Structure 1
Amino acid sequence: MIVRIMGEGQWKLADSHFGELNGLDDELLAEMENGDTDGFRRTLGALLDAVRRLGEPLPDDVLEPSELILPAPDASLEEVRKMLTDDGLIPG
């Protein structure tokens, strides 16, 4: 699966990593619902770090269709809220 982090680039991730990403996504959603700005910031960073750590970055000159788009690290709570679906940022 190809994942884009807005403003940074794309990473190719194996489907086997989505359990870890979904756990962080669930945590992020709960923090947003509770208005926990500090927790939101921390968990968003952890989610993006996990994509960078677990994925293989695609070269800058390669543009693949992204199956998942995540917010930039400095995205606000409101910006991320607009990106949410019923499942959070990550479907499933």
Structure 2
Amino acid sequence: MIVRIMGEGQVRVDDTHLAELNKLDDDLLAEMESGDEDGFRRTLTALLDAVRRLGTPLPDAALEPSDLILPSSDATLEEVRELLTDEGLIPG
């Protein structure tokens, strides 16, 4: 799967890591629904770190269609709310 992190670029992540990323996505959604700003910030950072750790960055010149777009690390809770689907950031 190709993941775009807004403001950073694209990363190729093997589908075998989807369960780990979905867990973080579920946590992020719960923190957003409860308005837990501190938890939201921690989990967003953990999600982005996991994508970077598990994935392989694509060259800057590569323009692959993204399967998933994640917000930048400085995105606010409100900005991320606008990006969410009914399934969270990562479709299950």
Give the shorter-chain TM-score range.
Answer: over 0.9
SS in 2 for 1:69: strand
Question: Which residue matches 1:6?
Answer: 6
After TM superposition, give the deviation of residue 53 of structure 1 in Å. 0.1
Determine if the alignment matches structure 1 residue 15 to structure 2 residue 15.
yes
Gaps of 5+ in 2: none
After TM superposition, give the deviation of residue 61 of structure 1 in Å. 1.1
After TM superposition, give the deviation of residue 82 of structure 1 in Å. 0.3
Runs of 4+ in 1 over 3 A off after TM superposition: none
Identity %: 76
For the residues of structure 2 that align with 1:90 and 1:62, how far apart are their CA atoms? 22
Gaps of 5+ in 1: none
TM (norm. structure 1) is: 0.98
Determine if the alignment matches structure 1 residue 70 to structure 2 residue 84.
no
AA aligned opposite 1:50: A
Question: Which residue matches 1:50?
Answer: 50
The total of aligned residue pairs comes to 92
The alignment yields a C-alpha RMSD, in angstroms, of 0.4
